[in-house]
Amino acid sequence: MPILSPTNTQVFLFSDLDTEVVLRMENRVSDIARADIWLRDALLEITADPDFRNEFDQLEIYGPQFLLIPTVQEYQESNLIPTGQVNQATLDILIWQDPGTNLIRRKLNLSHYQKADNFQPTNALPTEWYRFNSNIGFTPIPDQAYQVQTRMLQMHPINDANLSATQILIPRDWNEVLIWAAVLRGFMELLQYEKAAKVRMLLYGDPKYPRRPGMLNGRKKRREQEAWRTEQSLRPVVRPMMRGA
């Protein structure tokens, strides 16, 4: 079944945020060329943070469909990721357990190479996958040409040839955070550490005042928002017990 793409999504580029970054840096228009670099570094750091991984489903992609070779246990990871992409994290590896028709798909369990080495090798339908260096291995060793495919978290794409034309893939409500994170890097580059510290407290909060969280604290991720109502437990009503009541 085809996946329909939205047609009315507003696109933001680094160039759309440059002016706001230098404005918050005391309107240092002479540093606007550096704003793209600060935005790049801020964006890569935020999207690589595992605390926000569930927020950025825009960076989740499928790898190419790949056929395992019978009796071959380990494969270069590059076979399982799109050309030119950087795999931030393998989320799942899927396998089709009916070679030839490839209609029945399920997820493999994540294992470890040391666990795989503890058992006598057998050839069968793989049930687990593991990572060793740049290789992805499967246990049991495949006995047929099973089709597999990764779900992975890509590194945020950066237009290195023209930084200002880099498209921001994360949701629009992160633009404010991204701008301040770029400002933080700007003040640090200019060795204005006192101003950088104040911006950092704005983003992460002041540890002296735990009741005043920063902009990054407590952000409810999209999946948490979607599951919020179904996962809320009912609180029992406890009536106070009073003598003579």
102: left (phi over 0), alpha (psi -120 to 50) or beta: left
Looking at the structure, tell me whether residues 52 and 65 fall in a common domain. Answer: no
Looking at the structure, tell me whether residues 115 and 29 fall in a common domain. Answer: no
Q: What is the largest CA-CA distance in the chain?
A: 80
Helix axes 193-204, 175-189, angle to 10 degrees: 160
The yes-or-no verdict on residue 235 having pLDDT over 70 is no
Mean pLDDT of all residues in 156-160: 92
Q: Which residues, 6+ apart, have CB-to-CB distance to 91 below 8 Å?
A: 60, 150, 151, 152, 153
Containing 228, the helix (H) or strand (E) segment is helix 222-231
Q: Which residues, 6+ apart, have CB-to-CB distance to 121 below 8 Å?
A: 73, 140, 141
Kindly list the distances between the CA atom of residue 40 and the CA atoms of 30, 44, 49, 120, 191, in Å, as whole numbers in the listed order.
18, 6, 14, 48, 19
Mean pLDDT of all residues in 73-80: 94
Give me the percent of the chain exceeding a pLDDT of 90: 54
Looking at the structure, tell me whether residues 204 and 188 fall in a common domain. Answer: yes
Higher pLDDT, 53 or 23: 23
Specify if 212 maps to a domain: yes
Looking at the structure, tell me whether residues 28 and 68 fall in a common domain. Answer: no
pLDDT at residue number 166? 94
Looking at the structure, tell me whether residues 127 and 196 fall in a common domain. Answer: no
Looking at the structure, tell me whether residues 44 and 85 fall in a common domain. Answer: no
Looking at the structure, tell me whether residues 76 and 124 fall in a common domain. Answer: yes
Q: Domain containing 84: what range? A: 59-154
Specify if 218 maps to a domain: yes
The yes-or-no verdict on residue 230 having pLDDT over 70 is no
Looking at the structure, tell me whether residues 114 and 145 fall in a common domain. Answer: yes
Task: Provide the 8-state DSSP code for 221.
Answer: P
Q: Which of 154, 183, 217 is the last residue of a domain?
A: 154
Which two three-digit tokens encode residue 147? 């089709």
The yes-or-no verdict on residue 120 having pLDDT over 70 is yes
Looking at the structure, tell me whether residues 150 and 184 fall in a common domain. Answer: no
Please count the structural domains in the chain: 2
Looking at the structure, tell me whether residues 34 and 82 fall in a common domain. Answer: no
Mean pLDDT of all residues in 221-237: 64
pTM of the model: 0.76
Looking at the structure, tell me whether residues 175 and 112 fall in a common domain. Answer: no
Looking at the structure, tell me whether residues 138 and 223 fall in a common domain. Answer: no
Which two three-digit tokens encode residue 162? 């023209």
Task: Measure the CA angle with vertex 44, ends 223 and 55; round to 5°.
Answer: 5
pLDDT at residue number 244? 55
The yes-or-no verdict on residue 146 having pLDDT over 90 is yes
Specify if 161 maps to a domain: no
> How does residue 35 score in pLDDT terms, banded at 50, 70 and 90?
very high
pLDDT at residue number 52? 81
Which two three-digit tokens encode residue 80? 């399982």
> How does residue 1 score in pLDDT terms, banded at 50, 70 and 90?
very low
Specify if 70 maps to a domain: yes
Average pLDDT, the chain: 86
